[in-house]
Structure 1
Amino acid sequence: MVLAGARARSSARPGAITRRTHPLWFLFPAYGLLLVFFVLPTVYQFVYAFTDWSGFKASIAPVGLDNFGQLAADGTLFRSLRITVVYAVLVAIFQNLFGFGLAVLLERDTVINRIVRTLFLVPVLMSALAVGYIFQALFKGTPVLADTTWTIVVVALIHAWKWMGLAMLIYLAGLKTIPLDILEAAKIDGASRWKTFWRVRAPLLAPAVTFNVATALLGSMNGFDVVQATTGGGPARTTELLNIFIYRTFGQGLFAQATTMSLVLFLLVAVLAFPVIRVLRRREEMMS
């Protein structure tokens, strides 16, 4: 019996993972959490959007597309959608410009550059609400957050400031992974540092651009905390993102309408953000 066990062990491939040592039921807790906190809420969002669920009724009845019709008739929803799209585009532009610029300036591995990189990563680790309240206190008593035209730009800059350290890190990683032989070949061909950067190095950053643009768009289209803490959607609701509108509607007890808005936001992300990411991915494949 001992010899048989030894032969069985010796016949097993080295490094092989068996079901006995790694049973699949170890995944059940993770799948359970995913089901309870992601799958079920998503399914119920699609269900309750077509009902009259509210805090003023004891029962829930289906209403078809009435919620969508009411929201379409109210210009507030389309205004919030427009503000959300403008905010997302501004954040994506600012965050990538700041991150790219910092990565280029701090590319050299010097002691000072390493310290500065760490300092720019501090806002990434901070709470978004804390960042919003800090800037609210800084701008208190000034007209910066009172202008109905430029306040959306200000809050977009604050959002980009918080996350530009992450963009910087991704661009730095992209710059560090560019093969040196390509740069040496460009130098031998007589290309200047400027042409080498824009004609050789910048195109090779396509994967970093895709990641940073995607995270900036998805994060800002689902934005809430920075704007809520800084302006609360004001002045005159000019910074009222769709998530802030949903938050206020849900707080009024209009649960079905708030759920419908959440579904509209989901569709907005799918229609606008994902095609942009697909175009960037195609551009990345062409450059590679």
Structure 2
Amino acid sequence: MMPTAAQARVGERSTPPAPAPAGARRRPTTGAINRQTHPMWFLAPAFAILLVFFFLPTVFNFIYAFTDWSGFKSEINPVGLDNFADLAASGTLFRALRITVVYAVLVAIFQNLFGFGLAVLLERDTWLNRLARIFFLIPVLMSALAVGYIFQALLKPDGSLNQLIGAVARSPFDYAWLGDTTWTIVVVAVIHAWKWMGLAMLIYLAGLKTIPEDVMEAARIDGASRWRTFWTIRSPLMAPAVTFNVATALLGSMNGFDIVQATTGGGPARTTEILNIFIFRTFGQGLFAQATTMSLILFLLVAFMAFPVIYVLRKREEIL
């Protein structure tokens, strides 16, 4: 029986077309190429701004550290390592370095203790805990200078804190919280940690949420106490959050300026004069080369402290 014309057309439509030879593959159109390259062009303005306002000033800052640039001279001449030798001989460099390291370590300890404690307390997703999280995030959004000036007013000998303590103790209390050469750096570090503890709380909350619930349930079935579960299960699984918070706290406090300047200005008796405060004062005195030398030293200090700390914490994550 001969196939009809309709059957022949159906057979033609059902037969798949023969594949094109490998050499005859269609090349991407100009529009497709442009769509692939557009994202890089979108990044160009951001990189241009970084180049002009960050990278170039940083490079010139490092170059001027090896010159005699000053507000009292009209010419700039290279002097090699003389600026570094003068700072080392005067003793100001090592004092500022010591104060900066002590301040950074204190801030990292307090900020992580406050943040982790808040995260554990506010872990349950209730409306009251959500409200408390917003409350503790408010200082993160505030200006650091504003926070410093608020605490400066609160901690004066006749400030609100001493008045409150005196009212509770029923006797006058006028302790100079920002005037003690031994404890002022601890007080300023607590203020710095208070401002940023909300951010640390968020990171730790995110880490707590990633812990599998079946692991916690298995520990409870095995009879593990809440304390043992916390130290043997939850703490090791929080290692990535600890790494991030410790690194950011160290980097932020070593580059700190606003809170120290607003509360003590480097006093009393220069006991809170961290590197950035010293750089600010030196630059204001017209000693530009010495100030840029200190900024280069600060950059190296941040690099030499940050990378080993991050490496050790990352190795701890692998072990845990």
Identity of aligned residues (%): 78
Of residues 25-34 and 82-91 in structure 1, the stretch that sits farther from structure 2 once superposed is 25-34
Task: Measure the CA separation in 1 of the matches of 2:106 and 2:27.
Answer: 58
Q: Shift of the alpha carbon at 1:70?
A: 0.3
**1:43 shift after superposition:** 1.2
The alignment yields a C-alpha RMSD, in angstroms, of: 1.5
Query: Unaligned regions of 5+ residues in structure 1, if any?
Result: 1-10
> Distance in 2 between the 1:158 and 1:33 partners?
33
Matched length: 274
Distance 1:12 1:134, change over 3 A: farther
After TM superposition, the structure 1 = structure 2 runs for residues 198-209 of structure 1, keeping only pairs within 5 Å, are: 198-209=231-242
Q: Normalising by structure 2, report the TM-score.
A: 0.83
**Cross-structure match for 1:263:** 296
Q: Is 2:98 the counterpart of 1:82?
A: yes
- Residue 7 of structure 1 corresponds to none
Match 1:49 to one of 55, 61, 65: 65
- Paired position in structure 1 for 2:221: 188
- 2:52 matched residue in structure 1: 36
What's the CA shift for 1:12? 8.8
Distance between the aligned counterparts of 1:31 and 1:139, measured in 2?
Answer: 43
Deviations 1:112-138 (A, max 9, x none): 111111100000000000000000011
CA distance in 1, matches of 2:53, 2:220: 54
**Partner amino acid for 1:276?**
V
* 1-structure distance, mates of 2:245, 2:211: 18
Q: Which amino acid aligns with 2:309?
A: V
Mapping 1:104-183, distance limit 5 Å: 104-141=120-157, 142-183=175-216
Q: Equivalent residue for 1:214?
A: 247
The residue type paired with residue 97 of structure 1 is L
Residue 34 of structure 2 aligns with an amino acid whose one-letter code is R
User: In structure 2, how many angstroms separate the alpha carbons of the residues matched to 1:153 and 1:43?
Assistant: 34
Whichever residue aligns with residue 19 of structure 1, its letter is I
* Structure 1 runs (4+) greater than 6 angstroms displaced: none
Report the CA distance between 1:18 and its aligned residue.
3.7
**CA distance in 2 between partners of 1:75 and 1:216 (Å):** 27
Q: 2:275 aligns with which of 242, 256, 264?
A: 242
- Distance, in Å, in 1 between the alignment partners of 2:305 and 2:44 is 35
User: Structure 1 residues 111 and 237, CA, compared in 2 at 3 Å: closer, same or farther?
Assistant: same
Give the aligned partner of residue 98 of structure 1: 114
Structure 1 residue 97: Cα displacement:
0.4
The partner residue of 2:85 within 43, 64, 69 is 69
> Where does structure 2 lack aligned partners over 5 or more consecutive residues?
1-25, 158-174
Residue identity opposite 2:214 in structure 1: D
Whole-Å Cα distance in 2 between the matches of residues 18 and 57 of structure 1? 58
Deviations 1:8-29 (A, max 9, x none): xxx799xxx9431243333221
**Structure 1 residue 78, shift from structure 2 partner:** 1.1
Name the counterpart of 1:19: 33
Q: Which amino acid aligns with 2:231?
A: W
Three-state SS of the structure 2 residue aligned to 1:145 is coil
**1:285 to partner: Cα distance:** 2.2
Residues 158-191 of structure 1, C-alpha deviations (whole Å, 9 max, x = no match): 0000000111111011001111111122222221
| Structure whose alpha-carbon radius of gyration is higher | 2
Distance 1:277 1:89 in 2: 14
Letter in structure 2 aligned against 1:246:
I
Instruction: Give the TM-score, by structure 1 length.
Output: 0.92
The 3 A distance-change label for structure 1 pair 47 and 181 is: same
Going from structure 1 to structure 2, the CA distance change for 1:12 and 1:112 (only over 3 Å counts) comes to farther
